[in-house]
Structure 1
Amino acid sequence: MTLPQDITRLQSEMSAAVHEHWKAFLFEGILLVILGLAAMIVPPLASLAVTIFLGWLFLISGIAGLALTFWARRMPGFWWSLISAVLGIVAGIVLLARPVEGTLTLTIVVGAYFLAEGVATIMYALEHRRELSERWSWLLVAGIMDLLIAAVIIAGLPGSALWAVGLLVGINLLFGGATLIGMALAARKG
């Protein structure tokens, strides 16, 4: 059980650590903002880079999974682990061999995600509007925005595969970097 004095001590230690390393957070934030802007300026290149990066992740994790599966072959679930590792390897090879087609697939998945997220957010907002009082409308707007993003991505296929993943990654990097810069500058003073 965590006691209030433990939480206070943990918060002060965390604050001191962030204050001590504020320059590292600032550097990382600036780097993320630069990468985010670059991805937003050239989204096709960023989309391709994300696809290739994911290809390598799948390939490396599949190879590691295959090695571990054979190392622990007496464990229950051997065949499921083997199938999972082989699927990772195959997905990695496909993404690396045909990154443009992989980008199209990733764009379809992103569009489907925004569609599902939008519907779920709208349903949550409508179901809990009494408990959330005036704030439920913000959730409703967020859900509608997700649906609009999904519509733009899905309606624009296959052309949206050129920009969607790269642009969204760029926006994420930009806001993540801006957040780190703000945190670093606040920690410098504190």
Structure 2
Amino acid sequence: MATESSATDSMQAQLQQGGILGGLLLAILGLLALVTPFVTGLALSILLGAALVVGALVHVAAAFSASGARSVVWQVLLGVVYGLVGISILANPLLGLTTLTVLVIAFFAVEGVVQLGWAVTGAGSRLWLGLSGAISLLLAGMLLVGFPATALWAVGVLFGVDLLVTGVSMAMLGRTEGDVTAAEVPTETMG
């Protein structure tokens, strides 16, 4: 029993340390993204273009296993669309970054309208929904007013903030898990 308990404790300690280390690494990457938002945005644009090219290859490959001529045509057509968009983003990552910024603006605008509508008609925490919706619309407006200059930094900053917050959360969760584990008193079953 003692051996099982120490092995479990050792594994929990390793998981805790891994969570803290992983969280700190994500937080550092988030800070780097915040310091270099344009480079981060371009990297994300290139990653999106590469993912679309891979998606094109998957669709074309799926066409070979599709049943029926109609399915084959649709798979090939989707493959061509994915490929053209992916290649155009890879050929001009700044255009891809601009497109990503437009999508972020659209996301914030739609999210804000939906949340405000929900706050007006729904039940529950109307104040928080309304506040969140207003902030989303404010962000969309700020990005739209500064467009196209916002394309140079918006995606990188948002990604950096997300990485930073996620990293800090992971590190704190790993730390908290360790505190909870240390505070627990092991119980042994009587046999």
Alignment partner for residue 103 of structure 2, among 104, 109, 112?
109
- CA change 1:145–1:159 in 2 (3 A) is same
- TM-superposed deviation, 1:19: 5.7
Q: Which residue of 2 aligns with 1:155?
A: 145
Q: Could you tell me the TM-score, scaled by structure 2's length?
A: 0.84
Query: How many angstroms apart in 1 are the aligned matches of 2:69 and 2:19?
Result: 43
The structure with the larger Rg is: 2
Contact 1:19 1:187 in 2 (8 A): no
> SS state of the match for residue 110, structure 2?
helix
Pairing 1:53–2:19 present: no
Q: Which residue of 2 aligns with 1:12?
A: none
Q: Which residue of 2 aligns with 1:83?
A: 77
Structure 1: which amino acid aligns with 2:62?
L
Query: How many angstroms apart in 2 are the aligned matches of 1:70 and 1:34?
Result: 44
Matches within 5 A, 1:10-89: 21-72=15-66, 74=68, 77-89=71-83
Query: How many angstroms apart in 2 are the aligned matches of 1:118 and 1:67?
Result: 39
Structure 1: which amino acid aligns with 2:166?
G
Pairing 1:165–2:155 present: yes
Deviation digits for residues 128-179 of structure 1, max 9, x if unmatched? Answer: 1xx31xx211110100000010011111111000001000001111111111
Contact 1:36 1:174 in 2 (8 A): yes
Give 5+ residue unaligned stretches, structure 1.
Answer: 1-15
RMSD, aligned CA: 1.8
- CA change 1:18–1:140 in 2 (3 A) is farther
Alignment partner for residue 167 of structure 2, among 142, 163, 177?
177
- TM-superposed deviation, 1:61: 1.5
Q: Percent identity?
A: 32
Query: How many angstroms apart in 2 are the aligned matches of 1:122 and 1:71?
Result: 46
Query: How many angstroms apart in 1 are the aligned matches of 2:72 and 2:57?
Result: 15
- TM-superposed deviation, 1:38: 0.8
Q: Could you tell me the TM-score, scaled by structure 1's length?
A: 0.84
Pairing 1:143–2:133 present: yes
Query: How many angstroms apart in 1 are the aligned matches of 2:63 and 2:133?
Result: 42
- TM-superposed deviation, 1:52: 0.6
Query: How many angstroms apart in 1 are the aligned matches of 2:177 and 2:11?
Result: 9
